[in-house]
C-alpha cells in the first residue's frame, strides 16, 4: 500500500466521532476508556505524521504514538501553567488538532488526484 492509500483521515474522523458520541452519551467506562486511549495515543500524532509521508508504515505508527504523547503532554503542561486545566477543553483541542490534520491529509490527496 502506498502512503497515499493509507486511510488515516478516515480513521481519525471515525475515531473522533466515536469518542465524542461515547462521551456525549455518557457511555460506560468500558466503552469510553478504550476509545479515549486509542484516540489520544494515536490520532493527534497520525494527523501530523501522516503529512510527512513516511514510507515505512510501522515507523509512521511508532512516530505517531510518540508525537501524540508529546502533544498531549505539552497541552497539559500549558493548561496547567496557565491555570486553565479542563479535561473537556483538552479533549476538544486534541480533537480539533486531529481533525485539522485529517483535513490537510485529505486535501493533499485530493490535489494529487487532480494532477
Per-residue pLDDT of the chain (115 residues; tens, 9 = 90+): 445 578 999 999 999 999 999 999 999 999 999 999 999 999 999 999 999 989 999 999 999 999 999 999 999 999 999 999 999 999 999 999 999 999 999 999 888 888 7
Structure confidence at residue 3 (pLDDT): 57
Rounded-to-integer distance, Cα 45 and Cα 48, Å? 5
Q: Tell me, what's the pLDDT at 112?
A: 85
Between CA 81 and CA 110 the distance in angstroms is 40
Domain ranges for the chain:
3-114
Model pLDDT, residue 6: 87
Measured distance CA(72)–CA(26) in Å, rounded: 23
Within a 10 A sphere around the Cβ of 22, how many other Cβ atoms? 19
Residue 2: the pLDDT is 46
Cell of 105: 491529509
The span from the CA of 11 to the CA of 1, in Å, is 16
Question: Which three cell numbers, joined as nine digits, stand for 35?
Answer: 476509545
Amino acid at each position: 500500500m502506498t502512503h497515499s492509500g493509507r486511510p488515516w483521515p478516515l480513521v481519525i474522523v471515525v475515531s473522533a466521532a466515536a469518542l465524542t458520541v461515547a462521551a456525549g452519551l455518557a457511555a460506560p467506562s468500558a466503552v469510553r476508556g478504550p476509545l479515549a486511549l486509542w484516540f489520544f495515543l494515536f490520532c493527534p500524532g497520525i494527523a501530523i505524521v501522516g503529512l510527512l509521508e513516511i514510507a515505512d508504515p510501522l515507523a509512521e505508527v511508532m512516530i505517531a504514538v510518540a508525537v501524540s504523547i508529546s502533544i498531549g503532554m505539552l497541552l497539559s503542561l500549558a493548561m496547567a501553567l496557565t491555570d486553565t486545566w479542563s479535561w473537556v477543553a483538552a479533549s476538544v483541542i486534541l480533537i480539533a488538532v486531529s481533525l485539522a490534520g485529517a483535513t490537510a491529509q485529505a486535501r493533499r490527496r485530493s490535489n494529487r488526484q487532480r494532477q
